[in-house]
Chains A and B, each alone.
Chain A
């Protein structure tokens, strides 16, 4: 397998290992046994048209799929070498994975409480511990300068772009090893999108990022490797340079990235 030269070490550490993952909602299978790995400190882009199972796949990683009663999962997902379905403390798993949803969702709490929420839930309650974390995460999400004077105001009162950065700050607040972004830019303007993309490039130094997007050019700009998911199957997963070179193995991939369908 070809590796992106810049960010993956010679022998990449497998942060996430997915093997033969199958997911069905009430008997209707939407993910048909996919297998792939995510390497430590890479940005893996997941592209594909709507209804390809991208979001459902993410929900299997942090087991929020458990909240959907009709969902049945089989196969194996390992995070940091541990099978997620064998984990006793599912909440600790979710804290190892930061998750950013498509629509900006500021919680109806103050900006400070939005970011301090996750640490508090995991038992960190001292002010001296919380304040540096809140500041660091807001800085990482490029939001600190805009909100540092009004940390008491409501998170839901921010603009869409600000709320999305608040969501990212919240996803970073529990210091995850992995950050998943699910089409984070569909509800925000291009300028904010570019700012967040810069943030992601910097974060890559510290953590592993999975970027689900239907903007093929965004995947091309940011990612080390790209996975093309179509109707619940992996069509191709390879270095981003290869996928976008026009010489990828699958004709479907070439068609999708050049805008022929999707």
Chain B
């Protein structure tokens, strides 16, 4: 055997105190950073609510009016009213239209990517989707304001091009990448044994998709749609620029509307800090925070549901 002597018993060796302490400190920092996400979410809720809370006890404000009135006259000289119902409807109408367009296209593209196309094409398409999702929302808004609005005026003869239709199309283009990538993950998560069993029974690819894969990936696809909704509801700059500025319940696709998010962005600069108007905008923010919280938690819950099965 080797004649090299071993001068030290490594198994009994001790690390220097400094090294052990440094490691302890670093691990404390790691744990703190890990927990920071909770702290930040809590802080966001706390600070937004903190700025909003005083208005809840203000004389000129009622929560019922805030939620269910369509009258938004925050700067009226003698009769100030803070009803956000028209804004909520604005958000809902634009989001609904966006989903009407984005869900079929997004899920269709997800199916194509995961089941029909060749690996090389798939990689290319995924790169394009990634780039599509990287486009800043202010650029989308600019596109809506210029390109899309001209197209809509030319095609429909509407008096203004910035409206529900415009915002819906822009939001659809923005949400599609989310739906495609999450949807594709959901389809990919279906075990290959399902596919092999289907093919062994003589099913065509299409039969496989709608008889086997869609039911099996149902929850994941639902989560994809929910995350798309979350993205659309929370989007600000694009809808600010593309939907026009009319605070009313839209009668048609060609009406201008304003959404909850756009309303904050449009008026926060003018509302004096500490005024009721300013606080109501923060209250709208609290509402948005809670809406997206519910949407995201539901999406996560739905996904977790499949994993447990």
A residues at B contact (CB < 8 Å):
92, 95-96, 118-119, 121-124, 129, 132-133, 135-136, 139-140, 173-177, 202, 205
**Which of B1, B4, B7, B16 touches A123 (beta carbons < 8 Å)?**
B16
Q: Tell me how far the C-beta of A20 lies from the nearest C-beta in chain B, rounded to whole angstroms.
A: 27
Q: Does B59 contact A (CB under 8 A)?
A: no
Instruction: For A173, list chain B residues within 8 Å (CB).
Output: 10
**Which of A129, A140, A174, A177 touches B2 (beta carbons < 8 Å)?**
A140
**CB <8 Å contact, A132 and B5:** yes
Which label, helix, strand, loop or mixed, suits the secondary structure of the A interface? helix
**CB <8 Å contact, B6 and A174:** no
**CB <8 Å contact, A139 and B11:** no
**CB <8 Å contact, B8 and A92:** no
Q: Tell me how far the C-beta of B301 lies from the nearest C-beta in chain A, rounded to whole angstroms.
A: 22
Which label, helix, strand, loop or mixed, suits the secondary structure of the B interface? loop
Q: Tell me how far the C-beta of A191 lies from the nearest C-beta in chain B, rounded to whole angstroms.
A: 21
**Which of A122, A129, A132, A135 touches B11 (beta carbons < 8 Å)?**
A122
Instruction: For A205, list chain B residues within 8 Å (CB).
Output: 1
Give the distance in Å from the alpha carbon of A176 to the alpha carbon of B19 in the complex.
23
Can you list 19 A-B pairs with a CB-CB distance of less than 8 A? A96-B11, A118-B10, A119-B10, A121-B15, A122-B13, A122-B14, A123-B14, A124-B13, A129-B8, A132-B6, A136-B4, A139-B1, A139-B4, A140-B2, A174-B11, A175-B9, A175-B11, A176-B11, A202-B1
Q: Does B118 contact A (CB under 8 A)?
A: no
8 Å CB interface, B55-73 against A: none
Candidate in B2, B4, B10, B15 with the most chain A CB atoms within 10 angstroms: B10
Q: Mark B1-34, 1 if CB is under 8 A from A, else 0.
A: 1101111111111111001000000000000000
Instruction: For B13, list chain A residues within 8 Å (CB).
Output: 119, 122-124
**CB <8 Å contact, A132 and B1:** no
Give the distance in Å from the alpha carbon of A123 to the alpha carbon of B20 in the complex.
10
Give the distance in Å from the alpha carbon of A126 to the alpha carbon of B10 in the complex.
12
Give the distance in Å from the alpha carbon of A174 to the alpha carbon of B12 in the complex.
9
**CB <8 Å contact, A129 and B4:** no
**CB <8 Å contact, A124 and B6:** no
**CB <8 Å contact, A133 and B15:** no
Instruction: For B10, list chain A residues within 8 Å (CB).
Output: 95, 118-119, 122, 124, 133, 173-175
**CB <8 Å contact, B15 and A123:** yes
Q: Tell me how far the C-beta of B22 lies from the nearest C-beta in chain A, rounded to whole angstroms.
A: 13
Nearest first, the 5 A-B pairs at minimum CB distance are A123-B15, A95-B11, A136-B4, A139-B2, A122-B13
Q: A92-B12, A122-B11, A139-B4 are in contact. List 5 more A-B contacts (CB 8 A).
A: A95-B11, A118-B10, A122-B13, A132-B6, A135-B4
Give the distance in Å from the alpha carbon of A135 to the alpha carbon of B1 in the complex.
12
**CB <8 Å contact, B6 and A175:** yes
CB contact under 8 A between A177 and B6, given known A123-B16, A202-B1: no
Instruction: For B5, list chain A residues within 8 Å (CB).
Output: 132
Give the distance in Å from the alpha carbon of A197 to the alpha carbon of B50 in the complex.
71
Q: Tell me how far the C-beta of A97 lies from the nearest C-beta in chain B, rounded to whole angstroms.
A: 9
**CB <8 Å contact, A123 and B11:** no
**CB <8 Å contact, B11 and A92:** yes
Q: Tell me how far the C-beta of B20 lies from the nearest C-beta in chain A, rounded to whole angstroms.
A: 9
Give the distance in Å from the alpha carbon of A147 to the alpha carbon of B11 in the complex.
25
Instruction: For B8, list chain A residues within 8 Å (CB).
Output: 124, 129
**Which of A118, A123, A136, A139 touches B6 (beta carbons < 8 Å)?**
A136
